[in-house]
Amino acid sequence: MNHNLFATFEKRMHERGDAPFITTREGRDYRYSDALDMVARLAGALVELGVGPGDRVAVQVDKSPEAILLYLASLKVGAVYLPLNTGYTSEEIRYFLGDAEPALFVCRPASLDAATQVASSCGDVRVVSLGTAADGGLMDVVAAASPVTDCLERDANDLAAILYTSGTTGRSKGAMLSHGNLGSNAEALVSAWRFSADDRLIHALPIFHTHGLFVACNVILMAGASMRFLPKFDADVVFEEIAQGTTMMGVPTFYTRLLKDPRLTRESTANMRLFTSGSAPLTADTHEAFEAATGHAILERYGMTETNMNTSNPYDGQRIAGTVGMPLPGVEVRITDREGKHHDALPQGEIGMLEVRGPNVFQGYWRMPEKTAEELLEDGFFITGDLALIDERGYVQIVGRDKDLVISGGYNVYPKEVEGHIDELGGVLESAVIGLPHPDLGEGVTAVVVPAEGATPQETEIIAALADKLARYKQPKRVFFVDSLPRNTMGKVQKNQLRERFKDTYAASS
């Protein structure tokens, strides 16, 4: 049996024939039959460009139907899809290309020169562009290439994708996801959330992360449903579209922004059957206010790049605010000693480290066997770095994070990476980067800096100096200066004290 995820999708796509798959506001629509045809042609282009089984295909392009079809074409030829955040700077891209050694880098047409320059320092990487109007060099290759008809045979454990996730050491790690990881999770979600061919998903997420790419697109493909592809989240556009949708998946910022709008009512959302939230904690206040405004209880779920989705509130049962529900079918969770002294499950109700096991859990970190062994235990459980408890009803509550991580608008920012760049700047002795409560983004990235002796660095200078180095979402929104950082007797910076001291920084922002 062919375990290639695309083989499963392909069967479903044939069945759906002329039914809509992706539609856009510009009318650049694909029926399933059109999509099958374009995937075959894109697969032909990949082969023509020298991509073979197991080769990485790195992609940093704006959201478009063709970008999703490129993902499917990459699966079809047995390549490993490697999506990259469109916000990454050339410096960040250099690291990913150097580490993943892709055979091909697909970039935006406007970035072709810069991308070619970066790639030239990263070995044998071919560069080609893809634009949002089905333009760019890739489409020229498509026009000349012969379509690929057969879907390459793959085992369930063969790699389908690598998604980079920053590490606590500051060095990004490539999470290796197999065909089996992605397929099993999509199947579990289709059934848990009752997706059917009649669903129309309002897709406003970016497509370079687990949420917008796998949770959203794989579920739609598995169910044979359709999605309305919006370039990004924009509340005005969502309100124009919502009457035609049945479902929406979002990060909490989507819901706090919708809630601020008087157009959010029972009537405007009457057609919708499901709103899901994840990637960051949804506050109980937002959950309750949304239900009061619309009658819909947002269904919160919990996942990670390394594990896909782990737990979900029930579709039919009670969706409890402040919880992430119960393990999905086939997924096991346990709460263990936070210090990692042992991995036996703690008594029910105790807070500890959340560990997960199941067919959803990744294959390890790309070329980092030691890091993999630290986090993926021999018994198959993965140490998430999230602190949680399981309540008396069996619902998981995420109560904090053991890892030093900020989540801003659903994007992860690892303080260590930002601190490393700030500490290199002239006039800076050292820094600590923290997340502070932010009404729009959940957490706002904030830097606390100790100036070098005699130096008087300015907030604007520090932020400006990071512009070429770090994606915009990782850059501090504010920088504060202090004489010294609070430390414990072991010399560790007491970030809790800094979070307490500056906690009201964004209280009035929106």
Residue 245: name the closest of 219, 281, 275 by CA. Answer: 275
CA–CA gap between residue 295 and residue 243 (Å, rounded): 15
Which residue has tokens 């930002």? 418
Based on the shown chain and the rule CB under 6 A, indicate whether residue 175 belongs to the binding site for ligand MLC.
no
Verify binding: residue 416, ligand AMP, rule CB under 6 A.
no
The reply on whether position 239 binds ligand MLC by CB under 6 A is no
Q: Per-residue contact track with ligand AMP, 377 to 406, x per CB under 6 A?
A: -------xxx-----------x--x-----
Counting contacts by CB under 6 A, is residue 412 touching ligand AMP?
yes
Partner interacting with residue 201 (select from ligand MLC, ligand AMP, none; CB below 5-8 Å by kind): none
Q: Does 181 bind ligand AMP (CB under 6 A)?
A: no
- Residue 189 touches ligand AMP, criterion: CB under 6 A: no
The smaller minimum CB distance to ligand AMP, of residues 26 and 285, is found at: 285
Torsion angle defined by CA atoms of residues 258, 262, 264 and 266, in that order, rounded to the nearest 10 degrees: 160
The answer to the question of residue 304 lying near ligand AMP (CB under 6 A) is: yes
Alpha-carbon gap, residue 169 to 121, rounded angstroms: 24
Does 435 bind ligand MLC (CB under 6 A)? Our answer is no
What is the identity of the amino acid at 338? R
Nearest distance from C-beta of residue 504 to ligand AMP, angstroms = 23
Judged by DSSP in three states, 302 sits in strand
For residue 480, give the H/E element and its range: strand 478-481
Q: How many CB atoms lie within 10 A of CB 367?
A: 13
Distance in angstroms (rounded) separating the CA atoms of residues 188 and 186: 5
Interface with ligand AMP (CB under 6 A), residue total: 19
- Kindly identify the residues of this chain, within the stretch 264-283, that bind ligand AMP according to CB under 6 A: 278-281
Residue nearest to ligand AMP (CB): 305
**From 122-130, 254-262, 301-309, 356-364, span contacting ligand AMP (CB under 6 A):** 301-309
- Tokens for 455? 């130096």
Q: Which of 442, 450, 396 is nearest to 423 (CA)?
A: 450
Residue 211 exposed, middle or buried by CB count within 10 Å (0-12, 13-18, 19+): buried
The reply on whether position 408 binds ligand MLC by CB under 6 A is yes
In the complex, minimum distance from the CB of residue 339 to ligand MLC, in angstroms, rounded to a whole number: 25
Please state the φ and ψ torsions of residue 313, each to the nearest 5 degrees: -65, 155
CB 172 → ligand AMP: shortest distance, Å? 11
H-run or E-run covering 277: strand 274-277
Q: Applying CB under 6 A, does 162 fall inside the site for ligand AMP?
A: no
Q: How far is CA 340 from CA 167, 230, 385, 400, 402, in A?
A: 18, 43, 11, 16, 11
Query: Out of 10, 187, 300, 443, which residue is the one contacting ligand AMP (CB under 6 A)?
Result: 300
Q: Is 473 in the site for ligand MLC (CB under 6 A)?
A: yes
**What angle, rounded to 10 degrees, do the helices at 5-16 and 65-76 form?**
130
Residue 488 beta carbon to ligand AMP: minimum distance, rounded to whole angstroms: 24
Taking the complex as a whole, how short is the minimal distance between the CB of residue 170 and ligand AMP, in angstroms? 15
Token pair in block for residue 50: 């020298």
Report the nearest approach of ligand AMP to the CB of residue 252 (Å): 8
Nearer to ligand MLC by Cβ, of 352 and 409: the residue is 409
Q: By CB under 6 A, name the one of 210, 218, 247, 269 that touches ligand AMP.
A: 210
The mark string for 311-330 relative to ligand AMP (x by CB under 6 A, - otherwise) is -------------x------
Both tokens of 485, joined, read 């950082």
Q: Any contact of residue 205 with ligand MLC (CB under 6 A)?
A: yes
Figure out which of the listed residues 225, 251, 320, 324 binds ligand MLC, where binding follows CB under 6 A. Answer: 251
Neighbouring residues of 475: CB distance < 8 A, sequence distance ≥ 6: 418, 445, 463, 466, 467
Would you say 384 and 361 are in contact if contact means Cβ atoms under 8 Å apart?
Answer: no
List residues binding ligand MLC (CB under 6 A): 205-206, 209-212, 232-233, 251, 253, 278-279, 303-305, 408-411, 441, 472-473
List residues binding ligand AMP (CB under 6 A): 165, 210, 278-281, 300, 302-305, 324, 384-386, 398, 401, 407, 412
